[in-house]
Amino acid sequence: MAQRAVWLISHEPGTPLGGTVRFSRRYPTVEKRAKVFNGTSYVPIPEDGPFLKSLLFELRLLDEDRDFMESRDSCSRINKTSVYGLKVGGEELWPVVAFLKNGIVYACVPLVEQTLSPRPALISISAISQGFELLFGIQDFLYSSQKIDTELNTKLSQLPDLLLQACPFGTLLDANLQNSLDSISFASVTHPQKQPAWKAGTYKGKPQVSIAITEKVKSMQYDKQDIADTWQVVGTVTCKCDLEGIMPNVTISLSLPTNGSPLQDILVHPCVTSLDSAILTSSSIDAMDDSAFSGPYKFPFTPPLESFNLCYYTSQVPVPPILGFYQMKEEEVQLKITVNLKLHESVKNNFKFCEAHIPFYNRGPITHVEYKVSFGQLEVFREKSLLIWIIGQKFPKSMEISLSGTVTFGAKSHEKQPFDHICIGGTAYLKLHFRILDYTLTGCYADQHSVQVFASGKPKISTHRKLISSDYYIWNSKAPAPVTYGSLLLNLSLRDNF
């Protein structure tokens, strides 16, 4: 007799989701047993978001689902047992024990130690009775007296430790959670929790959690048939957790939209306590296929006091955000340039800024420029031998812009004019600089409703996203191919640093 998972969901009519998962706990060891016992009829436990939506729909607690629906409300589906089957991802998760009391939906999934096809009688599944006993025990603990929100939040923050005592590995030992609380309180008095060596102090103040996802996109575009264009996304998730207590626990979930690009090569901060094996084994070296793990990516951790990088990742997005063409021809003392840029239709057309820098190395100062630009404006830095095309905050409706013109140079001065070992002759590039707020190229986001915080008080949770260009180069299509990608980036980065 064991439970595969337990949830506590606050019913919130009038909100977009209809409710919030206040607590959830999964038991991986029990889940492995379920795979063996259920065989081909096994249905995995869904993530909190899909489970929340499906359960509230089945319980008729969603505002938009009040109308009669044959699949749920027909006479053949009359339910008198508080045991349900939930439609999740085209499959039915059964049995799910669930009931609503005092604005909280209590739910669990008992382990069925046999195949689910044909469906066994409820009376033969002993774990269902154990599930009811566990949920009633949690209810009694939360509402043993008249509670205010602050006291309820404190009780919820105690549940992870209590279930370790009362329901280890999903097997109920004591439904009276107050007994477990008393034993934990006694242990904390006799053995007070020690301050870890890596944490210099504790936070006092208003609880808040800030999550920022920053993606940097790199690209090398050549417009040559014999050289493939390359691009890659590198992401960083930065957190700042201001929470009281010596060892507060936080769980953050990163999610992707349906067409999002899976995260790969994930590296996590040492404070992360556990990870799904699918997260650790997702690598950019492996060929992409439909079976690639696409989240949600859960990171349980005990945060340090300072801001820190929770994780890093890469991703192989199908196309770069901006496709470019750059051509430079030398005609006597002049250079004729042509630039075409196209914003991909899937990218958010709302930039904080967007610029194209066109440097001219190993030449004299710019003395004259004649140009035609279809969008934006061009600035000329004569002494630096540099053109900056300021595109602005939006591309036009056509998503395509162009620049053409001729540039004339004066006598070269070795002391003032920029010099480069790579950009000799016709070898030249255009570099894009842009930033898009509230957007990531992979679609990765952190839903603030899925953030779980086990600490005193209800924290304010804020999330931010942005996409930044980094090493985004478009090379002269008429020039010979530059050196290898890796050594080229090294040379460019060294030059930029000095």
Cα–Cα distance measured from residue 340 to residue 247, given in angstroms and rounded to the nearest whole number? 54
pLDDT for res 187: 46
Q: Which residue has tokens 């996409």?
A: 467
Cα–Cα distance measured from residue 26 to residue 482, given in angstroms and rounded to the nearest whole number? 52
Cα–Cα distance measured from residue 306 to residue 61, given in angstroms and rounded to the nearest whole number? 40
Beta bridge partners of 454: 249
Cα–Cα distance measured from residue 459 to residue 244, given in angstroms and rounded to the nearest whole number? 10
C-alpha Rg value of the chain to the nearest Å: 29
CB 243 within 8 A of CB 453: yes
CB 301 within 8 A of CB 271: yes
pLDDT tens over the chain, length 498 residues: 899 999 999 998 888 888 999 999 999 999 999 999 999 999 999 999 999 999 998 888 886 655 556 555 555 555 667 899 999 888 999 999 999 998 899 999 999 999 999 999 998 898 999 999 999 999 988 887 655 677 788 888 889 888 988 898 899 988 888 877 766 654 444 456 667 767 767 888 899 999 999 999 999 999 888 889 999 999 999 999 999 888 899 999 999 998 888 898 999 998 898 888 778 777 766 655 555 677 789 999 999 888 999 999 999 898 999 999 999 998 777 899 999 999 999 999 999 999 999 998 888 888 999 999 999 999 999 888 899 999 999 999 999 999 999 999 888 776 666 777 778 877 899 999 999 999 999 999 998 888 999 888 889 999 999 999 999 999 988 876 554 444 454 455 444 543
Q: Tell if the pTM clears 0.75, that is, is over it.
A: no
| Burial state string for 334-373 with b = 16 or more CB within 10 A and e = fewer than 16 | ebebbbbbebeeebeeebeebbbebbbbbbbbbeeeeeeb
Show Cβ contacts of residue 177 under 8 Å, excluding neighbours closer than 6 positions: 137, 138, 140, 141, 162, 166
pLDDT for res 190: 45
The residue count for the chain: 498
For the chain, domains (ranges, CATH) are 3-183 (3.30.450.60), 208-319+441-497 (2.60.40.1170), 322-437 (2.60.40.1170)
Q: Is the dihedral of CA 342, 343, 346, 349 positive or negative?
A: negative
Rounded to 10 degrees, the C-alpha dihedral 65/70/73/75 comes to 170
Cα–Cα distance measured from residue 76 to residue 496, given in angstroms and rounded to the nearest whole number? 71
pLDDT for res 375: 95
3-state SS, one letter per residue, for 327-385: EEEEECCEEEEEEEEEECCCCCCCCCEEEEEEECCCCCCEEEEEEEECCCEEEEECCCC
CB atoms within 10 A of CB 266: 21
CB atoms within 10 A of CB 182: 11
Cα–Cα distance measured from residue 303 to residue 240, given in angstroms and rounded to the nearest whole number? 8
Cα–Cα distance measured from residue 398 to residue 207, given in angstroms and rounded to the nearest whole number? 46
